Amino acid sequence: MDGKTVLVTGAASGMGRAHAVRLAQEGAEIIALDLPAADEGLAETAGLIAGVGGRCTVGHADVTSQDSVREAVENAIGADGQLHTVVANAGIYPSAALSWELDDADWQRPIDVNLTGVWNTVKATLPHLKSGASIVIISSVNGHKGGARVAHYSAGKHAVVGLMRTLANELGASGIRVNTVNPGSVATPMILNDEVFAKLRPDLDNPTLDDAARELGGRNLLPVPWVDAEDVSNAVLFLACDESRYVTGTQIVVDAGLTQK
């Protein structure tokens, strides 16, 4: 990744941070974007990147606003600057409810961030991409299969796969590749909370992390509850670099076998 500039959205936490650090370790210069409220996390990401001898510019962008992403990109690299890889990672995991119990706002919020946010990120960064560039969109195992009480999340994560396939068609002739990475369960702040534990173990009164992990372990082919963020980052790295120069329009599922069980 030497000499390449990589933009990562949602880079203040969890997997976005892991992707930023992993790509920096391989020589990429990182533009780490997240919400203004995530400043502390962004600083931590920048510190980790400095710790591996990498270079990083941090910035604010709310992916639900195309202008916000465009402004952040231009602040970081200028109106004519070039990006080599875009990792559209920012996302939210909404409160669980049965499809017909969601109200309009419940439905719309994850669609705005997880689907429209990816489209905004692509549209704002495309003018900065040239032949050889790679767009990596973070979907999910919920972009591959449904799940209990995640209609709003799963619909958005399926939809970005459709967006990816269409973009790969549209951008192939320009030499720009587009793929998704679909992680299984990764122990990030997104799912390390009581609400998610309760969703995973509705049979228990106050389920703990261990209870949740036991349930998740039973869902995978491999005997592990979690996929490490770094394992997902390795897939992102592969798609980001030229080793995958003929890979476009596809998905890499990093899920310990969850979708195959």
Q: Which residues contact 101 (CB under 8 A, 6 or more apart)?
A: none
User: What is the end-to-end Cα distance of the chain in Å, rounded?
Assistant: 35
What does the per-residue mask of binding to ligand NAD show for 104-123, with x meaning CB under 6 A?
---------x---x------
Active site residue 93: no
Mark the segment that binds ligand NAD (CB under 6 A) among 13-21, 128-136, 235-243, 245-253.
13-21
Q: How far apart are CA 24 and CA 31, in angstroms?
A: 10
Run of H or E including 30: strand 29-34
Identified binder of ligand NAD from the candidate list 1, 10, 84, 154, rule CB under 6 A: 10
Q: How far apart are CA 89 and CA 109, in angstroms?
A: 16
Question: Does position 138 bind ligand NAD by CB under 6 A?
Answer: yes
Binding residues for ligand NAD restricted to 222-261, rule: CB under 6 A: none
Binding residues for ligand NAD restricted to 19-38, rule: CB under 6 A: 34-35, 38
Beta bridge partners of 55: 29
Closest to 180 (Cα-Cα) out of 221, 227, 134, 216: 134
What does the per-residue mask of binding to ligand NAD show for 159-198, with x meaning CB under 6 A?
------------------------x-xx-xxxx-------
User: Which residue is catalytic, options 14, 87, 133, 153?
Assistant: 153
Residue 54 or 117 having the CB closest to ligand NAD: 117
Q: How far apart are CA 9 and CA 184, in angstroms?
A: 19
- Residues serving a catalytic function are 153
